Structure 1
Amino acid sequence: MLHPVRHAATMPDKPAYIMAGSGETVTYAELNVRADRGAWLLRSLGLRRGDGIAVLMDNSPRYLEVVWAAERTGVYCTCISSKLTAREAEYIVRDGDCRVLIASAGAAATAAALLPLVPGLQALMVDGAVEGFDSYEAARDRQPAGPITDPSPGQFMLYSSGTTGVPKGVRHPLPEEPLGENTSTLVTLGKALYGFASDMIYLSPAPLYHAAPLRWSMAVQQLGGTVIVMERFDPQAALAAIERYKVTHAQWVPTHFVRLLKLPEAVRARYDVSSLRSVWHAAAPCPVPVKRAMIEWWGPIIGEYYAGTEGNGFTAISSAEWLAHPGSVGRNLTATTRICDEEGNELPPRSEGTVYFDGGGTFTYHNDPDKTAAAANRHGWTTLGDVGWLDEEGYLYLTDRKSFTIISGGVNIYPAEIENLLVTHPDVADVAVIGGPHDEMGEEVIAIVQPRDMADAGPALAAALDAFARANLSHVKVPRRIDFRAELPRHDTGKLYKRVLRDEYWGK
């Protein structure tokens, strides 16, 4: 058995996780007791196998114990970004059929505003409670000790991008194995690619509501390693954590690398990072010069992978391979990569087309059979919607984003959602939202607006649109730049030639 239940019995005093900033340490014995009581709590709320819960938390010390509690009850757990507005979170809670909300005090404002939007939603809060929420810890501690009588492994239902402008839940079948025998695929991949072992100390610098940080952290704990959770990312604090806790493994996004490299050389040299054995990055394309600089700094221990929440394929590349194939995201380890034209015909090497995975895992988009069907071609191969090409050795190179999704700091932002809001402003006739180049974040959100009256174009209208966006969207989606045009490039059919605009901003 590879599971915290086993580690609680065999090495109860070993840290399961440590909060990097506060130093709060939770052992495997403590994690197991709290997860068991949390599982009883979920049962007491009427949740059974196949039901759904929502977790709306910042990187609280209670995050991992909550998801491990959910994991042993057979429920679908939907983790929601703490940066969303209440209306944005409401969509996910409703679409995910979530019956219980577990929030943190750090996300209390959003959680409190969300509660009246979903009548009947049962609500608990960790790290303190506000009106309408019961204390999770108090309710947990009233529960019996020991495992629940009907344990079964649960599943995450996390939300991926959608061409309609709202995220879609990626739903996988619940595991059929007994609890503890449903080993994560990331355990196998971690062993093969990054030398995962029970003595590893893994730094998680990103928000746990993202799929990758959450799943990698739990894979580490399946093996019995220790996770160091950063409450929030800060480049110097990350280096300090590596030195203090003798971190051996870590996952990053390219924005983390950019911020680390921007530290003064004297600051970077101050910290001992020699404990690092293997690190890797994903979530967004990494600029070639940035990756080269990181390899020069940390050595050839930097891996990269390309995958999606959908779980239909997984490509990976080592530092040595990347230096020989700069810009590649690697070769597929769990499926066969196919490049196809618009008719679904497979293309030869170095021909650009849609990237498909053949033989990978299956998935559905919850409540969206049309989107599920659109993700597959006539061969049954599935795609994340990205465009790229393969070289003769099977290394994949990505050349475009899925449906013009903006990836800023490793976070997916959906342009249509922003466009659909801004176009409702009374002074806007048309709008296009694209991602433009940004040195630190990779991309920034740019709104190109066609005013109803071009005479109104200027700072005052830009300020009004900024305020309008901030009142209705989470701050990561608010355009950093607003430009004005007398007319946007649309076909007579109404199709927007967004490629024309994007190429202009990227200097193509």
Structure 2
Amino acid sequence: MVSTKHFNIFNTGESSFFTPGVQLANIARVKPDAPAIVYINPENKESVMTWHSLDVLSNRIAWYLLEQGIKPGKSVIVALPNIPTHIALAFGIWKAGGCYVPISPRVPRKNMIEICECVSPSLVITNRWKPEGCLSLSSSELKTISEDYPEHMPPDIMAVPNLANCSGGTSGKTKVIEQDMAAGESDEGLKTWFAISGMRFEMRQLLAGPLFHGAPHSVAFNGLYCGNTLYIPSCFDAKAIVALIKKYKIEYVQMVPTLMQRIIRLPDFNPEDLQSLEVFCHTGGVCSADLKRKWFDILPPEKIYEIYSMTECVGMTSIRGDEWLAHEGSVGRMPCGEIAIRDSEGHNLPIGETGEIFMSWGPNKPKVTYKNITPLESDENGFRSVGDIGYVDNEGYLYFKDRRSDMIVTGGENVFAAEIESVLKKHKKVNDAVVVGLPDKEWGHRIHAFVETTELVSDKTLIKFALNYLPPYKIPKSFEHTDHIPRNESGKVVRSQLVEDYLKRHADTCSSSSTKGEKHGE
């Protein structure tokens, strides 16, 4: 039994807006015994949580949280892996009116303390180190305590703020962006989400990223709001992800370009294993044109969606694969709002000219609070920037070039790290590449590449290959070969840390390596 009054097929109420609690209860009434979550543990054994079980567990947790004083304005830190209890806890927090604060389950103690100082949590749920001065429970302790609480849902309440994203981003410094909006969604919001993500109601969906990261979080909970069955693996290994898509006939998945690259480089990869996918969405990093085209050979372009956004909620664009073919290299257009490209003095630049990307949502901009980070400046029209560089074409499509913080000034030339990385990753033996600028007395910064290869490949070979695509001044002057380029759990590289670690390891040779590397750019 579904509603015909609203776009949301599970909504039987008067308002088109729904809270997470009401939507979960409505879905649980329609299909109580259907699987809401299928969890695949590290031993590759599955467990199923039905919609009824998810609803009941989250209700019991909500009653416990209410007893602990959780209400609008109060925060709960969730430092758990992707497990069913994590999902139930998030719903429970929102049902109590609280703010859900997901963080890495492996967060260092220093960062945990810093986050606690920023958000002043009323409760911390973690299976590792418990911070002093905070009420803390493990996930098993929470489930045991909650067993004595009622099964029915508490009185519905708006959870404002609903979410706080804690991220070190690419700088390594903890920053907190709190969303001062009610948890839930409306018909209009769902329609927009469907348009930019390709999602629809009641799909088989695979979670291929950590819940504490913005994109996997949004996709997971929006999927649950749509009645999707969410398949949750315990790891994001490329081979395992492909096997799960094939086994469960997954219809929807979102992943980062790093995982996309690793999948197609699997020695026994068979594109047929992904043929159940009806929608493939990628976000969370630069996807080169070459990588995109390779995925078009696997899936029809109209099934592939790309979303460009940022934790700071400055703006969002999206593009479908068939659109991309007409605007190659673009990350799309804003579904609502405007984009402006400006120079260093804040003047608008002409179409096609590269500058700093500014975005404005217009009158419906998300309300956010910045903690442990300087609030982004906004002009009278609401335009803000996180420092990304790009340009727009005459149809309003945005083309992302690089992060301003990742741009390397070498010998007076501006060089985008992402461009060089994309070229290096074209090489069939390169799995991953990260380019940074190292301090250099002569060049200002020397272009240095960290490369992860499937087998031995010489610097000269990589240089010769890169010269097919790049002018000499963009060629790395030095390389470092590694078995694995370190990325955080969000799939991001902390470049400042890579540079710092390199300089420590090569403290006595940095000056001489500059001279040695100059030949590479000739």
The TM-score range, normalised by the shorter chain, is 0.7 to 0.9
1:318 matched to 2:338: no
Q: Is the 8 A contact 1:349 1:392 kept in 2?
A: yes
Quickly say closer, same or farther: Cα 1:163–1:291, change in 2 above 3 A. closer
Percent identity between matched residues is 26
Residue 329 of structure 1 aligns to a residue whose secondary structure is coil
Quickly say closer, same or farther: Cα 1:37–1:298, change in 2 above 3 A. same
Aligned equivalent of 1:418:
none
* Whole-Å separation in 2 of the counterparts to 1:507 and 1:335: 43
Quickly say closer, same or farther: Cα 1:379–1:190, change in 2 above 3 A. closer
* Whole-Å separation in 1 of the counterparts to 2:90 and 2:45: 21
TM-fit CA distance, 1:164:
7.6
1:173 matched to 2:215: no
TM-fit CA distance, 1:60:
2.0
Quickly say closer, same or farther: Cα 1:276–1:150, change in 2 above 3 A. closer
* Whole-Å separation in 2 of the counterparts to 1:379 and 1:189: 22
Q: Which deviations, in whole Å up to 9, do the C-alpha atoms of 1:360-398 show, x marking residues without a partner? A: 524444345x822x4323543112221111111111111
Whichever residue aligns with residue 25 of structure 1, its letter is: V
Any unmatched runs of 5+ in structure 2?
A: 1-10, 12-17, 409-416, 426-430, 442-485
Residue 400 of structure 1 aligns to a residue whose secondary structure is strand
1:76 matched to 2:99: yes
Whichever residue aligns with residue 141 of structure 1, its letter is: E
1:137 matched to 2:143: yes
Q: Is the 8 A contact 1:255 1:442 kept in 2?
A: no
1:108-507 pair list within 5 angstroms: 108=128, 111-112=129-130, 115-116=131-132, 119=133, 121-126=134-139, 128=140, 135-149=141-155, 151-154=157-160, 155-160=162-167, 166-175=173-182, 182-183=185-186, 187-264=190-267, 266-269=268-271, 272-300=273-301, 301-360=303-362, 361-367=365-371, 371-372=374-375, 374-377=376-379, 379-404=381-406, 437=421, 439=425, 440-441=431-432, 443=434, 479=498, 482-483=502-503, 484=506
Q: Is the 8 A contact 1:74 1:174 kept in 2?
A: no
* Whole-Å separation in 1 of the counterparts to 2:106 and 2:300: 34
* Whole-Å separation in 2 of the counterparts to 1:50 and 1:82: 23
Quickly say closer, same or farther: Cα 1:222–1:385, change in 2 above 3 A. same
Whichever residue aligns with residue 125 of structure 1, its letter is: S
* Whole-Å separation in 2 of the counterparts to 1:149 and 1:488: 63
Q: Is the 8 A contact 1:312 1:335 kept in 2?
A: no
Whichever residue aligns with residue 5 of structure 1, its letter is: A
Q: Which deviations, in whole Å up to 9, do the C-alpha atoms of 1:434-459 show, x marking residues without a partner? A: 99947445537787699xxxxxxxxx
Whichever residue aligns with residue 275 of structure 2, its letter is: S
Aligned equivalent of 2:35:
15
Of residues 124, 130, 138, the one that matches 1:101 is 124
Q: Which deviations, in whole Å up to 9, do the C-alpha atoms of 1:63-109 show, x marking residues without a partner? A: 111111112122111111223211112211210221210113xxx2x
Q: Which has the larger displacement, 248-257 or 335-344?
A: 335-344
Residue 62 of structure 1 aligns to a residue whose secondary structure is helix
Count the aligned residue pairs: 423
Q: Is the 8 A contact 1:449 1:485 kept in 2?
A: no
Quickly say closer, same or farther: Cα 1:150–1:223, change in 2 above 3 A. closer
Quickly say closer, same or farther: Cα 1:184–1:346, change in 2 above 3 A. farther
* Whole-Å separation in 2 of the counterparts to 1:441 and 1:152: 44
Q: Which deviations, in whole Å up to 9, do the C-alpha atoms of 1:261-316 show, x marking residues without a partner? A: 1112x4425x5322211111111001221111111112212111111123332111
